């Protein structure tokens, strides 16, 4: 039972990062390698909020989400879209976002230092025991907020006008543009939404266990693995993929030793690419086309 709780808590970051990665990949058309930094920025925003601005846990989450959403929109508008208009290749943008990651991560290191920090919130955290597993109120809150966010995200996507436009741009950008969907504005919205989800994930982890400038890279890779396993062209698959990945990692670390958790993710990715490259819930595989 304790393992299950640990896996779910780890999985919530993967879900939030994975959804955003998939959204940017499909709507903006490139793999956003700087997505991990949005997660880290969310963590640091929460840290600043609690430590220096004296905000409560909830207040700092709101601050973190707002800050990362803004950063995501600024990056998309002033860095990626500028380049995308001149020349539109996905690999070029991927490389640019990698450079953005390096710059941002090291700026964070310069300002806050390289060491791992802990947000001290003891007074508001109680440990509860639910069917034999220890869980803090914070973890419980983060899990329920994540569930609400996932459900809200699916509802937004399926039923709202914005969701319809996002799906239109994701499935065919040019055609959506012809039909009057403002593709660039939708891309901007998506980048902002994706960033906010990543930021929320980052600040939950910061409040729960701690934060360091390099925390985003590994989580981003897990989000990618969850995305590929769940299926890049589906919207709900990544959630299942993330939970499966987190459970598998927990299992691997219990059975084989904790150094094998990340290796498990890698093996899962390779097996998935070999056996079912479209993902467990995906329908079609992205192939080289003319």
Partner 1 sequence: MEYVGHVLVFVAIYVILAVSLDLLAGHTGMLSVAPAAFYGLGAYTSALLTVEAGASFLVALLAGMIVAGVLSLAVSLPSLRLVDEYFVIATFALQIVLFSLFNNWVSLTGGPMGIPGIPPPAIFGIRVTSRAGFLVMASLCAGLAYTVVWRLSTGPFGRALHAIREDEVFAKAAGKDTVRLKITAFAISVALAAMAGSLYAHYISYIDPSSFTVMESILIISMVILGGAGSLWGPLIGAIALVTLPEALRFLGLPSSVAANLRQVVYGALLLLVMLLRPRGLVGKYAFGQ
CA 72/CA 100 separation, integer angstroms: 11
Tell me whether residue 158 or residue 284 sits nearer to partner 1 (CB atom).
Answer: 284
Eight-class DSSP state of 211: B
Tell me whether residue 22 or residue 57 sits nearer to partner 1 (CB atom).
Answer: 22
CA 45/CA 61 separation, integer angstroms: 8
Beta strand 127-130 pairing with 133-136: antiparallel
CA 20/CA 119 separation, integer angstroms: 25
| 83 counts as binding partner 1 under rule CB under 8 A | yes
| 166 counts as binding partner 1 under rule CB under 8 A | no
| 102 counts as binding partner 1 under rule CB under 8 A | yes
Please select the residue that binds partner 1; options are 8, 12, 265, 279, rule is CB under 8 A: 265
| 280 counts as binding partner 1 under rule CB under 8 A | no
Please select the residue that binds partner 1; options are 2, 89, 137, 144, rule is CB under 8 A: 89
* Binding-residue pattern over the window 10 to 39 for partner 1, x denoting contact by CB under 8 A: ---------------x-----x-x------
Ramachandran bin of 279, using left for φ above 0, alpha for ψ from -120 to 50, beta for the remaining angles: left
Please select the residue that binds partner 1; options are 51, 124, 273, 284, rule is CB under 8 A: 273
| 94 counts as binding partner 1 under rule CB under 8 A | yes
Least distance to partner 1, CB of residue 282, Å = 12
| 2 counts as binding partner 1 under rule CB under 8 A | no
Q: Which window, 56-64, 145-153, 185-193, 265-273, contacts partner 1 (CB under 8 A)?
A: 265-273
Give the containing element (helix H, strand E) for 136: strand 133-136
CA 95/CA 135 separation, integer angstroms: 40
Q: Structure tokens of 229?
A: 């396993």
Task: Report the SS3 class of residue 56.
Answer: coil
| 287 counts as binding partner 1 under rule CB under 8 A | yes
CA 24/CA 262 separation, integer angstroms: 24
Task: Report the SS3 class of residue 182.
Answer: coil
Tell me whether residue 129 or residue 284 sits nearer to partner 1 (CB atom).
Answer: 284
Query: Which of positions 188-247 make contact with partner 1 (CB under 8 A)?
Result: 217-218, 221, 224-225, 228
Eight-class DSSP state of 286: -
DSSP 21-48: HHHHHHHT-S--TTHHHHHHHHHHHHHH
Please select the residue that binds partner 1; options are 4, 56, 58, 106, rule is CB under 8 A: 106
| 152 counts as binding partner 1 under rule CB under 8 A | no
| 270 counts as binding partner 1 under rule CB under 8 A | yes
CA 228/CA 276 separation, integer angstroms: 10
Give the chain's length: 290
Q: Which residues bind partner 1 (CB under 8 A)?
A: 25, 31, 33, 79, 82-83, 87, 89-96, 98-103, 105-107, 109-110, 113-114, 217-218, 221, 224-225, 228, 258-259, 261-263, 265-266, 269-270, 273-274, 277, 285-290
């Amino acid at each position: 039972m304790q393992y299950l709780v640990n896996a779910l808590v780890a999985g919530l970051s993967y879900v939030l990062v994975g959804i955003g990665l998939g959204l940017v990949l499909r709507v903006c058309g490139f793999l956003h390698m700087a997505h991990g930094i949005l997660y880290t920025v969310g963590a640091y925003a929460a840290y600043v909020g609690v430590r220096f601005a004296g905000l409560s846990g909830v207040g700092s989450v709101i601050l973190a989400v707002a800050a990362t959403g803004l950063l995501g929109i600024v990056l998309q508008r002033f860095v990626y879209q500028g380049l995308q208009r001149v020349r539109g290749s996905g690999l070029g943008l991927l490389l640019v976002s990698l450079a953005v990651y390096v710059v941002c991560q090291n700026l964070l290191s310069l300002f806050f230092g390289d060491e791992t920090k802990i947000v001290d919130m003891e007074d508001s955290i109680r440990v509860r025991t639910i069917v034999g597993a220890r869980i803090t109120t914070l973890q419980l809150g983060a899990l329920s907020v994540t569930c609400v966010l996932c459900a809200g995200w699916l509802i937004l996507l399926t039923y709202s006008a914005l969701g319809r436009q996002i799906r239109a741009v994701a499935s065919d950008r040019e055609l959506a543009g012809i039909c009057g969907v403002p593709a660039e504005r939708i891309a901007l919205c998506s980048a902002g939404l994706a960033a906010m989800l990543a930021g929320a994930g980052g600040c939950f982890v910061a409040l729960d266990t701690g934060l360091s400038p390099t925390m985003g890279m590994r989580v981003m890779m897990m989000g990618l693995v969850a995305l590929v396993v769940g299926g890049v062209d589906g919207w709900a698959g990544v959630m299942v993929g993330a939970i499966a990945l987190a459970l598998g990692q927990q299992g691997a670390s219990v059975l084989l030793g904790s150094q094998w958790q990340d290796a498990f993710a890698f093996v899962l990715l390779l097996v998935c690419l070999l056996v079912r490259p479209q993902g467990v819930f995906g329908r079609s595989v992205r192939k080289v086309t003319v």
